[in-house]
Structure 1
Amino acid sequence: MANTVKITISPTQFYTWQNYRCAYEVYQPANSTNEGLPLLLIHPIGVGLSRQFWQRFRSQWYRKGDQNSIYNPDLLGCGESDMPHVAYNPQDWAEQLDYFLQTVVKKSVVIVVQGALLPVAIELVQRQSNLIAGMILAGPPAWPVITKNSSALQQKIAWNLFNSPLGNAFYRYARTKKFLRSFSIRQLFGSENAVDKEWLDMLVAGAENPESRHAVFSFLAGFWRQDYSGYLACINQPILVVLGEAASSISKEGKQETPDERMADYLGCLPQGSGIKLPGRNVLPYESTVQFVEAIAPFIAGLKTGA
């Protein structure tokens, strides 16, 4: 069994991007001379979600003995970053992370991106390909969702509806433990028992600031919904697709798709794609943390050694 790696944990740090204060954490192995490529984690968007989503993953990564540094930022509108009242789109978050890579990380990374934040990673690799050595897609969206353009008018109508007293009332209900537990069981986790107190407490705390609703409403309005198949086909970096054996889709376009079909579609498009399925559903780094770490570590080690 690998020995747990002792790490140096920075307190929350901040940088300024476009006059906004953005938060991040860095985890670095203590006294390591062979840490490999650092990981850049991109957290999902949702009620109460922020960089805290990755805490279980980070703990298990070092418990297993891996020595890569981890950069874990809060996207604008989430966690401890500023929360301006704006409609966010993947380009905004990609520009934020591009600046973060250039000014804070300053070295090549492996992107680990959760779920439907895949468009942010795609936009980022378009901007900063030379600083991205590879990508890991944890539970990426259904193929019909990530390859279909949505109407800009529909997006605007949805945003205006959310950005109203009705939307504010919905968010007050959506951040209750009752709603969060029900939604997590119905849409995110494969096992009801996995929706534990730690998960729910994290979401409730993360949604305490009502200004966090703007990032969530931007996501729900679908500003990330467009056809990304052409972009994916042009990514030359190695990409590992990790899907849950019970992977599902919230969107109606993807409800009939099986995990095997989703995997085949992604691997058929990506120039250097490989894939693996794990127990669990849609939040594998949290629900199936041990298996997720075991699955991605060889891929990252292969990038480090040039394999």
Structure 2
Amino acid sequence: MSIKKKLTFFTTLAGVSLGAMHIANRVLEYISTADKLINSDEYEYYNWRFGKIAYKKTGEGSPLLLVHNLNVCSSSYEWRNNIEELAKSHTVYTIDLLGCGCSDRPGLTYTNYLYVELITNFIKHIIGEKTDVIVSGESCPFVLMACANDETIINKVIMINPPNLVDLAKIPTKRSKFIKNILYSPILGTFIYNMYVNKKTITHALCSSYYTQNEISEKDILTYFEAAHKEHTNSKYLFACQKTRYTNANVLHCLNKLNNSISIIVGNSNPENSLAASEYQNYLPSIEIAGMAKTKQLPHIEKCDEFIENVEIFLSDAEECE
């Protein structure tokens, strides 16, 4: 076969492959969002400089901001079992982070510092006063950094299963930058994202790492699935940045500076959660830790009554100390 024929063959093959990927991407996007379980009309919107941020305000009392786990499948839906009870004594704000839920998903580089700025601006412009914060999983570091960056915005912090400090300190490499660029590409990047984030992989993650329960509702799975693929699957940008460590940040330098009352709630069925919590306490001994048996990454969903009890204890203890 001549060089010209080989080039023609490989060009045709590449074109057909990209066409097939594009069709597969569109089909998965349609399937994932067909049920319309996430209603954007139910939210208010904060016009932040990097995009619209969806949020809800419920109840009356001292302000309490709930920040969901930084994950392309996550949104304020994570707090569905907690809002009603917390709203009895607090003005509860739930937020969809940039790149998640009903908030915008711009094609920019998502970093820890981007979310520090988001939390800082949201509290100043929407809440308007110093607030308590309950934060889940991978979002914990940027809430801590927001505390260190501006001591006037956050009062008490309750973290749920914060990430390992050693992993957080890892930074992007040349290889990770190359991978990020591939994932940002319009067709191939979206196809790779769809291979990693689909109904099967989401169900497996929920069953293996997030819940101890054997039965997870189909509605929950479909809601997470839809959240990961809204707005033409543009959550791939956040996914790419997380996978290539752009959302990481070394928070050790700010822990010793914090004067906030900080507590950690741990799902004890994942042993690594307790180890990670102990790391934070080693650097800041004033941190209090409460373990919840037979729960994993989402104890506030699995055992919402026990979770609320722990929250009330931590918040009341902090008030007494003041």
TM-score, L = length of structure 1: 0.82
Aligned AA (2:242): F
Partner of 2:235: 212
Inter-partner Cα distance in structure 2 for 1:270 and 1:124: 17
1:128–1:271 Cα change, 3 Å: farther
Residue 98 (structure 2) pairs with residue 84 (structure 1): no
For residue 51 of structure 1, report the CA deviation from its aligned partner.
1.6
Partner of 2:181: 160
Inter-partner Cα distance in structure 2 for 1:141 and 1:290: 24
Residue 158 (structure 2) pairs with residue 127 (structure 1): no
Deviations 1:148-185 (Å, cap 9, x if unpaired)? 33244344233223223443113224443222111222
Secondary structure in structure 2 of the residue aligned to 1:129: coil
Counterpart of 1:61 (choices 86, 93, 99) is 86
1:20–1:303 Cα change, 3 Å: same
Inter-partner Cα distance in structure 1 for 2:273 and 2:104: 36
Inter-partner Cα distance in structure 2 for 1:57 and 1:179: 26
Secondary structure in structure 2 of the residue aligned to 1:282: coil
Residue 282 (structure 2) pairs with residue 268 (structure 1): yes
- 8 Å CA contact retained: 1:189, 1:283: yes
Aligned AA (1:299): F
- 8 Å CA contact retained: 1:234, 1:271: no
Residue 64 (structure 2) pairs with residue 39 (structure 1): yes
Inter-partner Cα distance in structure 1 for 2:180 and 2:130: 36
Inter-partner Cα distance in structure 1 for 2:275 and 2:104: 39
- 8 Å CA contact retained: 1:134, 1:237: yes
Secondary structure in structure 2 of the residue aligned to 1:88: coil
Counterpart of 2:75 (choices 47, 50, 58) is 50
Deviations 1:75-128 (Å, cap 9, x if unpaired)? 112222221111211111111121111111011111111111122112211232
For residue 260 of structure 1, report the CA deviation from its aligned partner.
4.2
Aligned AA (2:73): G
Counterpart of 1:290 (choices 299, 302, 305) is 305
Choose 1 or 2 for highest CA Rg.
2
TM-score, L = length of structure 2: 0.79
Partner of 2:49: 18
Aligned AA (1:220): K
Inter-partner Cα distance in structure 2 for 1:290 and 1:303: 20
Residue 163 (structure 2) pairs with residue 138 (structure 1): no
Inter-partner Cα distance in structure 2 for 1:151 and 1:232: 22
Residue 137 (structure 2) pairs with residue 115 (structure 1): yes
Inter-partner Cα distance in structure 1 for 2:175 and 2:148: 26
Give the aligned CA root-mean-square deviation in angstroms: 2.2
**Structure 1 portions without partners, runs of 5+:** 1-9, 30-34, 249-257
Partner of 2:210: 188
Inter-partner Cα distance in structure 2 for 1:286 and 1:245: 14
Aligned AA (1:244): G
Counterpart of 2:249 (choices 226, 232, 237) is 226
Inter-partner Cα distance in structure 2 for 1:19 and 1:229: 28
1:120–1:170 Cα change, 3 Å: same
Which is worse superposed, 283-292 or 70-79?
283-292
- 8 Å CA contact retained: 2:119, 2:143: no
For residue 57 of structure 1, report the CA deviation from its aligned partner.
2.0
Number of residue pairs the alignment of both structures matches: 278
Matched residues, percent identical? 19
Inter-partner Cα distance in structure 1 for 2:256 and 2:178: 31
Residue 230 (structure 2) pairs with residue 199 (structure 1): no
- 8 Å CA contact retained: 1:13, 1:25: yes
- The structure with the greater share of residues assigned to helix is 2
Counterpart of 2:93 (choices 34, 52, 71) is 71
Inter-partner Cα distance in structure 1 for 2:319 and 2:111: 32
